[in-house]
Amino acid sequence: MKKVLCLLLAALMLLPTLAAFAEGEDITSWILEDDTSISGEISFWMPFKGSQGMDALIADFNSIYPNIKVNLNTYNNNSDGNLSVNTSILAGEVDVLASFGLSNAYKRWEAGLYVDLTDLVEEEGIDLVANWGSDAFKYDDCIYTFPCGGLSYYVAINMNAWNAAGLGELPTEWTWDDYFAASKAMTEYNEDGTVKVYGGSSYHSQNYYTYVYGSLVGKNAYYDEDGTCSFDNPVIIKALQDEYNAEIVDKIWFPKSIYRGDNLQSQQTFLVERTCNSSLTPNMVRFLPDTANYGVDFITGFAPWPVIEKGQTNYMSGVSPFSHAGICMDPDDEDFPAAWAFLKWYSTYGVKYLAAAGHQPNWKGTEAGSALSLLFGSEEEAAKFVDVESFKRVVGVSTNPSYYEDELTAYSKVNSLMAEYTMYALNDVMSPEEALAELTKLADEAIAAER
């Protein structure tokens, strides 16, 4: 009897896997039915260059849809660049648009710059959850984009420094305290006692300490359940305090004030200037194979995003939705079917090419392990740059729990307030507590104003 129960239980546990497998089958079938004869010419706007996987993506697409000509238009993903995208949409020059981050997508949903795909999605029976794991990305109950590309968060580590500090095996799970201790161990000093190489570093954006909270709750690091902002949450206060200590007091992390003030980026300090030995840079893998600009003489290893306490579900260990793709072309345009075919193909089969630029595919039907070969060519080649084992364990594991954001109230405003007040704390103008108290007040005002 016991045996039967065990078997039953095992079967039950296997069911989700089987279901996922079945879904995978399903996913691969809905797209390629009989629309491969479509023809047309479309422009595809995307922040990545042709050499960053996009040429290969288009070539692959054309092997299935030979009659659709796709013109790649690479834009700068900063406020100038996004302004140019928006004005180009108004001029009718953008057909399919891929963008990064919720803030940009949100502004475009709000301004109606994307075509409403809700009816088409319903008609063709496209299941958002089955394909991309979430159907949260809607605006006013309408679907404008597919959340098809993601980011994987990890700590990139200079293995020379790691080994020199005698830190042993790379961890499979570690706490923030562990990471700070390792950062301290990897910090190198000049003869006069000043820091030569910081042991660790945050990413150069301001918001990374909120992901400490994000890894705990799994979604919407800026907002509490009741819709107010979360910056008064003890976890966030401690996270900012910790970053402050690491950068200002203990001087074991590269200071964010220098990243912001001197326009530095965190892959630079890690790969070019060698002023930090480890870094929370999610797109670091993009830069590693670029020997022309970032040639290095060390192997990069990978440790997972740290947790608050061991055993905690780590929502930052999976692949979080980060890019959004939609159509900006008038549905009456004769090329619309081509744009729709490309959007569907891109957001499913195509997204694996994002790996070549350091992002991670979010589509559930993506074959595992394609990132490594897309980035480096082969596993042997990869071994020259990275610690392959830890890479596979940590980078782009879409089966791990993942963090996402779907609360959008006053998002852009809250985001820029967060950036400003975080800098006051990390410039030592206000204490982290003061800065977050002020930020909470202003962010809640902004949220209330929008409601």
Applying CB under 8 A, the residues found at the interface with another protein are 76, 78-81, 83-84, 86-87, 89-91, 107, 111-113, 206, 257-258, 260-265, 268, 272-273, 293, 412, 416, 419-420, 422-424, 427-429, 442
CA proximity to 97, closest of 42, 149, 45, 41:
45
Query: How does DSSP assign 28-46, residue by residue?
Result: HHHHSSS-TT--EEEEEEE
In angstroms, what is the minimal distance from the CB of 291 to another protein?
14
> CA dist 195 to 251, 275, 278, Å?
7, 9, 15
Q: Which is nearer to another protein, 34 or 332 (CB)?
A: 332
Q: Please give the backbone phi and psi of residue 97, each rounded to the nearest 5 degrees, phi first.
A: -125, 130
CA proximity to 437, closest of 235, 237, 161, 158:
237
Q: Which is nearer to another protein, 173 or 333 (CB)?
A: 333
In angstroms, what is the minimal distance from the CB of 240 to another protein?
15
Q: Which is nearer to another protein, 28 or 293 (CB)?
A: 293
Q: Which is nearer to another protein, 206 or 362 (CB)?
A: 206
* Amino acid of residue 410: A
In angstroms, what is the minimal distance from the CB of 189 to another protein?
13
In angstroms, what is the minimal distance from the CB of 227 to another protein?
21
In angstroms, what is the minimal distance from the CB of 144 to another protein?
14
Residue tagged 């004869």 (tokens): 37
In angstroms, what is the minimal distance from the CB of 286 to another protein?
10
* Structure-block tokens of residue 384: 């020259």
- The runs of H, that is alpha helices, within 325-402 are 336-346, 370-376, 379-383, 388-394
| Calpha distance 383→336 (Å, rounded) | 44
In angstroms, what is the minimal distance from the CB of 257 to another protein?
5
Q: Which is nearer to another protein, 39 or 74 (CB)?
A: 74
Helix (H, G, I), strand (E, B) or coil at 334: coil
In angstroms, what is the minimal distance from the CB of 103 to another protein?
10
Sheet holding 319-327, edge to edge: 68-74, 40-46, 96-100, 319-327, 145-152, 360-361
Q: What angle do CA 121, 84, 109 make, to 5 degrees?
A: 30
Q: Which is nearer to another protein, 329 or 341 (CB)?
A: 329
Q: Residue 172, Cα to own-chain centre: how many angstroms?
A: 20
Instruction: Please count the CA atoms within 13 angstroms of the CA of 60 that sit on its side-chain side.
Output: 14
Q: Which is nearer to another protein, 118 or 257 (CB)?
A: 257
In angstroms, what is the minimal distance from the CB of 389 to another protein?
29
In angstroms, what is the minimal distance from the CB of 445 to another protein?
9
* Amino acid of residue 430: M
In angstroms, what is the minimal distance from the CB of 411 to another protein?
12
Q: Which is nearer to another protein, 50 or 227 (CB)?
A: 50
Q: Which is nearer to another protein, 86 or 402 (CB)?
A: 86
Q: Please give the backbone phi and psi of residue 41, each rounded to the nearest 5 degrees, phi first.
A: -135, 125
In angstroms, what is the minimal distance from the CB of 190 to another protein?
9
Torsion sign (Cα): 130, 135, 137, 139? positive
Q: Which is nearer to another protein, 230 or 422 (CB)?
A: 422
Contact 28, 328 (CB under 8 A): no
Q: What angle do CA 160, 258, 439 make, to 5 degrees?
A: 120
Q: Which is nearer to another protein, 131 or 277 (CB)?
A: 277
Q: Which is nearer to another protein, 437 or 442 (CB)?
A: 442
> CA dist 219 to 230, 383, 406, 436, Å?
12, 34, 8, 20
| Calpha distance 421→414 (Å, rounded) | 11
| Calpha distance 156→449 (Å, rounded) | 40
Q: Residue 51, Cα to own-chain centre: how many angstroms?
A: 20
